[in-house]
Structure 1
C-alpha cells in the first residue's frame, strides 16, 4: 500500500506549495505539523542538511525543497499536469519559479524590513521584480495559461501576502496594488478562489499576527 506523508508548518508558503500540488493531483496523504522551534527527530532524520520543511515522505523515501517536491509529484502521480509538456515551456516555467524564489521574494522581504533611503531603494527593486510578473501575466488567467501550473504554485507567497496587506499596512511598504499591478491582483483573486487552493489557505488573521511579530522582531534585531 502506498504511503505519502508531508511534514510542514501551517504558515509556510513552501509547505502550502506541496499541499496544493497534492490536492491538484488528488493524492491522499498524511500531514504532520512541525514546530520549527522544537524540530522533531523525524524532521532532522529526513532533512539533515537543511533541517526545514517541507518534506515529502513517499514510501519511506524523503524528498525535500518545495519546487523539487512539486515536480516530483507531477512526475509520480496522474492527474492535471503541473509542468507543461513542451520542453521550452517547461524551461520557462522553471525559470519563473526560480525567479520568484531568488529575486522576487528577497526583494519584497528587503522592502519590508529596511528603513529610510535603503527602504526606498528596496521598494524600487521589489516593484521591478513584481512588474516582470505583471507583464508575464498579460492576456493570461494563470502564468501557464488557463490552468494552474508550477509558476502559480511557486507564487503562493504573493497570494498569501496580498491577503494580509491591510493588516500589515503600518509595518511595511506595500508594492502590490491594483493600480500598479492589475494583472497580478486579478491573478491572486483567480488563484485563491480555486477550491483546492482556498481550502489550504491559512487563516488571514492568524497569519497576519505571525507576520507582524516576525517583522517587528527582525526590525528590532537590525537596529
Structure 2
C-alpha cells in the first residue's frame, strides 16, 4: 500500500536522452523499445484529452491520466479561491502559459497543481478582480498568494516543488540554461514580429539561435544533453513550425539538423505532447490574429 501511495511522488530524475530513468536496469535499446511499446499500447485509448506521465518506482513504468477541464468564460463561477489548493491559471492557446504547464507536467505535479484554463476571448470578471489584477495568464495561486509572469513562474515552480530540476548541477550548463530562458521572450517577440513582415528573412536569426544553442553541448539532442529546457521551448515546434509551414511555406528545420532532431525527440515526450493545440485550430487562430484573415 505504501508503495502505491508513494509512486506519485515522481521518483523521476528519470528523464535522460530517451525519457527514461538514469540507472534503469537494462540497456539503452531495451529502454527505448520498452517505452515505445507502452506508448503504442496507449495509442488505442478512446480517451481523447488525457495527460500521461511516466514514473519509475523501482523500475516500473506507469502513466497517470488527467482529464483536461474546459476553459472558464464570463458565465463561469470562480473556484473556491485561497482554500489551500494550488492552481495554475492558463489558456490553452497561450504559449507563455504552455511553457509553465509543460514544466508542471515535467516535474510530475499533476496532483499538486490544479489546472484552471481561462477563455481569453471571454474571460470571467472575477479573474481580474479576485485572482490576478494583471488579468493575464499564466498565474499561480499558491500559499495564499498569486504570482504572474511566465519566467518568474518557471523559476518559482522549479524551486518550490518536488520533481526533476530544470537545471543541471554543472555550472556552465546551468548558466547557459538560465540565459536561454531569459532569451525566450525576445525569441517569441522576434518570431511574432516576423509574421507581419517577411518571416523567411526575419525569423531566420531566431531559429539559427536555437540551432547554435543545440550545438553548445554535444551529448544528446537536447539543449543540455537531457530533457529540461525542452519543457520551456516546446511550443516552438507546435506553434511556430506548424504556422510558418502552413502560412508561409517556411520550413524552420531546413539546414538545421540539430533543430530537426530536437523536434523529433521532443515529440516523444508526454509532458509536452498533452499540451499541444489542434494544428488546424492553431493555424486559424494565428491567421486571424496576425494576418487579418477573417475567413
Mapped partners of 1:41, 1:24: distance in 2: 31
Deviation at 1:41, TM superposition (A): 3.5
Q: Provide the residue aligned with 2:224 in structure 1.
A: 144
Q: Provide the residue aligned with 1:61 in structure 2.
A: 145
Q: CA RMSD for the aligned pairs?
A: 2.4
Residue 164 of structure 1 aligns to a residue in which SS?
helix
Q: State yes or no: 1:106 paired with 2:189.
A: yes
Mapped partners of 1:43, 1:182: distance in 2: 43
Structure 1's 162 and 111: CA in aligned 2 closer, same or farther, altered over 3 A?
A: closer
Mapped partners of 2:156, 2:282: distance in 1: 28
Q: Which runs of structure 2 are paired with 1:72-91 in the superposition (5 Å)?
A: 72-91=156-175
Larger Rg: 2
Q: Which runs of structure 2 are paired with 1:8-27 in the superposition (5 Å)?
A: 8-27=90-109
String of CA shifts for 1:79-118, please: whole Å, max 9, x gaps.
Answer: 211122344433321211222211x22222222111xxxx
Is 1:13–1:156's contact at 8 Å kept on the other side of the alignment? no
Q: Provide the residue aligned with 1:35 in structure 2.
A: 119
Q: How many residues align?
A: 206
Is 1:163–1:204's contact at 8 Å kept on the other side of the alignment? no
Q: Provide the residue aligned with 2:209 in structure 1.
A: 132
Structure 1's 41 and 52: CA in aligned 2 closer, same or farther, altered over 3 A?
A: same
Structure 2 stretches lacking a partner, 5+ long: 1-82
Is 1:4–1:56's contact at 8 Å kept on the other side of the alignment? yes
Q: Which runs of structure 2 are paired with 1:151-190 in the superposition (5 Å)?
A: 152-162=230-240, 164-165=242-243, 169=246, 171-172=247-248, 174=250, 176-177=252-253, 179-190=254-265
Is 1:7–1:53's contact at 8 Å kept on the other side of the alignment? yes
Structure 1 stretches lacking a partner, 5+ long: none
Residue 122 of structure 2 aligns to a residue in which SS?
coil
Residue 143 of structure 1 aligns to a residue in which SS?
coil
Q: Which runs of structure 2 are paired with 1:207-218 in the superposition (5 Å)?
A: 207-217=282-292
Mapped partners of 1:162, 1:129: distance in 2: 11
* TM-score normalised by structure 1 residue count: 0.81
* TM-score normalised by structure 2 residue count: 0.63
Out of 115, 129, 132, the residue aligned to residue 47 of structure 1 is 132
Mapped partners of 1:42, 1:16: distance in 2: 22
Mapped partners of 1:186, 1:70: distance in 2: 25
Deviation at 1:184, TM superposition (A): 1.0
String of CA shifts for 1:181-223, please: whole Å, max 9, x gaps.
Answer: 1211211121122012112212222212211221222x89xxx
Is 2:231–2:272's contact at 8 Å kept on the other side of the alignment? no
Q: Provide the residue aligned with 1:191 in structure 2.
A: 266
